[in-house]
A and B are shown apart, each in its own frame.
Chain A
Amino acid sequence: MAQSTRATPAQEPWNDPHAQPYIRIENVTKKFGAFVAVNNVSLNIYQNEFFCLLGGSGCGKSTLLRMLAGFDSPTSGKIYIDGTDMEGTAPYDRPVNMMFQSYALFPHMTVESNIAFGLKQDRISKTQTTQRVQDILELVQLSPFAQRRPHQLSGGQRQRVALARALVKQPKLLLLDEPLAALDKKLREETQFELVNIQEQTGVTFMVVTHDQEEAMTLSSRIGVMNAGEIVQTGTPTEIYEYPGSRFVADFIGSVNIFEGRITEDEADHVRIDSEEAGCSLYIDHGVTTTSGAKVWFAVRPEKIAISRDKSDADENCTSGTVQEIAYMGDLSIYHVELESGKRVRVTMPNLVRGVSDAITWDEQVYLSWRPSSGVVLMA
């Protein structure tokens, strides 16, 4: 999984109490009849951020995006962009542009006129319009295609026209609705990095809606995970992946093994959990704020579990089971191990050398172990 390298401490305005948010979403709720699409969402987004709204279909992420663009208005709550209340401001008066999932290019116009359309509406002079269109065409590497019509372009080229058209007006906020969903896998991976580069070059604040967690991890400075109309967790890709706040987030981002258990020892610097499901006692090196005996869940990622034929010395964070399935993926292998409790655990191991003759195989008895810092305790 590609990790964003851009979240250095100096660029984390969300951790700075004095930083002014650029876009403020305050207690926004949107109802369609009795259905609550977006439920009391509050969110601060800072200038130059690349923010991702991540969630499954129907979680309300697109509705939130449409409210920012002005196509829908909140049932209650406020949206501020650069300090201005957006209530009652029509889409054509907002300093916001949107790149649509279907790209929504104007089929009867050339690439050039598509991009110039927004500038024309602002009555920008002809020479300046031509210049800006040329510059943006260069940025997205489409200069040779300026006179083509949308149907004369490939999917990837259309995607870049849509991006250029939305960017050329230099909006305060650029909204991208599933920007890469219509591209094939290889092109999507290339375009992800291109998108990040363009965002850095233009300095425009980006807000992306996606259902693809890998895309969210690669692109964003921060991710907001949405479920059933609510934002369940906001954080950097690393925070979301390594410190999920709930079973939903842990399960939604990447794959995870979750064991149910009860707290037996709760100290400031460690917790012990007794889990029948795991078949062993769990020791975790971070404290939680709950009462002893409370029901909690322990989540550990497949790549953080070691699989071995030999029993380790420790009697904590170590359990055993039989290998049920092995999937060879090339770069890594996935093992499904069934514990004595019947719980299936997913373990991945990088294939460091070629053709291991005595590799772990089906129906073998194996021992699984992990470090105290490998997993997290989840309260919900």
Chain B
Amino acid sequence: MNNNRSYFLISCMVFGFAFLYVPILSLIIFSFNKSKLVTVWAGFSTKWYGALLQNEQILQAAWISLRIAFVNACFAVALGTLAGFVLARLGRFRGRTLFTGMVTAPLVMPEVITGLSLLLLFVAMQDLIGWPQGRGITTITIAHITFSMAYVAVIVQSRLSSVDESVEEAALDLGARPAKVFFVITLPIIAPALVSGWLLAFTMSLDDLVIASFVSGPGSSTLPMVVFSKVRLGVSPEINALASIIVLLVSMGVIAAGYLMHRQQKIRQRDIQFAIAANK
């Protein structure tokens, strides 16, 4: 009985993992395909990686995407932290529900609507105050900040609500002014949330196609936009190579983060054990 069940469980697991990873695996395998036809295997080759390095358009798009993602992540963390702090610490104030709803609305708003409304706003602003001039990297960055900020706000809020408020009160009680308490006590304590918020904002921006398409201008195509337009003309093996590199970088990042967190957890556990043992 037990054996049967474990066979069942194992096949479930195999099926689940296959569902998730076979597409990615086939993508990686076909990135080493010699043939120009994506679906026909014609022997091993790394020539598409070479071709990718020669492809100015893709490289430039990747560079633009990374720059936008970086600036976006920094602004989103700054603004999102402020919003999350207000949501978690200001208690009940008039219009709190409205404010919460407004902060988190971009999480559920269809991207098409966000993109369109931002486009309309940018056009109107250009007519009225002359800024931002045209559409480009600036408008994409602003658009990305609007929705990634909401994610950071939610992360910071949930982290803050699990932090004992009396820690901040203790700092106040010991003579630190509220602004100092925020920078010296609150921020260091929620630093892990800020890091994960930053990474999430970075990834979201790197990933976004729809909103960027609405608010981009000539010469500011992001990587997802370039990839998507290329795929429409037929999948090029270069895209496979690019995707494989991205998968490699992402998994390296995830593994490194996992390892660091695991190690920190272990050190902490050991410290706690030590403290308990020393007390006996």
A residues sitting closer than 8 Å to B (CB atoms) are 69-71, 90-93, 96-98, 100-102, 104-108, 117-118, 121-122, 148-149, 151-154, 156-157, 165-166, 169
Contact = CB atoms under 8 A, between A and B. Distances in A.
A97 B176 CA distance: 12
A108 B192 CA distance: 12
B4 interface: no
Contacts of A92: 172-177
A97 B276 CA distance: 29
A187 to B, nearest CB: 9
A169 B274 contact: no
B169 interface: yes
Contacts of B170: 98, 100, 104-106, 165
A71 B176 CA distance: 14
A106 B271 contact: no
B272 interface: yes
B233 interface: no
Given A97-B174, A118-B175, A91 B169 contact: yes
Contacts of B271: 149, 151-152
Chain B, interface residues (CB within 8 Å), range: 20 to 34
A121 B176 contact: yes
Interface of B: 164, 166-167, 169-177, 180, 185, 188-189, 268, 271-272, 274-276, 278-279
A154 B166 contact: no
Given A92-B175, A100-B170, 17 more contacts: A70-B173, A71-B169, A71-B173, A97-B173, A100-B169, A101-B166, A104-B164, A104-B166, A106-B167, A106-B170, A108-B188, A117-B176, A121-B176, A121-B180, A151-B275, A154-B276, A165-B170
A122 B164 CA distance: 25
A121 B272 contact: no
A98 B172 CA distance: 10
A117 B188 contact: no
Contacts of B188: 108
Contact of B175 (A100, A108, A122, A148): A122
B169 A106 contact: no
Contact of A165 (B174, B180, B268, B275): B174
A154 B166 CA distance: 20
Most buried by B among A90, A106, A165, A166: A106
Contacts of B278: 154
B175 A169 contact: yes
